[in-house]
Amino acid sequence: MIYLYVVTALALLASLSAGRRQTLAALKTATRRFVGILPVFLIMLIAFAVAMSFLSDELITSLLGKDGGWRGVGVACVVGSVTLMPGFIAYPLCGALLTQGVSYMVLSAFTTTLMTVGVLTYPIERRYLGRNVTLVRNAISLVIALIVAGATGIVFGDISW
């Protein structure tokens, strides 16, 4: 993580030397946007912390860990499909779940369905794209999420050939 901070600091210094006014304007815009998303981010973190306090580590590990297998992938696909959450909240959430013992395969299923399958957005999509296109798009996205989860499971050793 320290490398990321060093690279960021060096990039900022390079940007300042190339154009001080543009860099300061960009930093001002970035700060404004960060402050704008901070309340949502904090609410999601608090909601996650509350949810995690009700679930034991053993339950999380048994359901979503390496022992959970495809059942955990199924749970992750359902939760990801019905959840509306932006990536800047989902990825830190996945990092926290990873420290709780959730497998990479389950996390990839969750994030893929979260970003591509839209159960809650179905009515809006249906209005603009039509029922058939929306259903086919969601079905294909779900299949892709399962393929991604399987490939991730193979790469990270959750599934063996």
pLDDT in tens, 89-106: 888 888 988 888 889 999
If one counts every other C-beta atom within 10 angstroms of the C-beta of residue 42, the result is: 11
> What predicted TM-score, i.e. pTM, was given to this entire model?
0.68
User: Residue 42 has what pLDDT?
Assistant: 79
Domain residues of the chain, as ranges?
1-54, 56-161
pLDDT in tens, 18-56: 999 999 999 999 999 889 878 877 777 787 677 767 767
Residue 1: in which H helix or E strand, if any?
Answer: none
What's the CA dihedral at 41, 44, 48, 49 to 10 degrees? Answer: 60
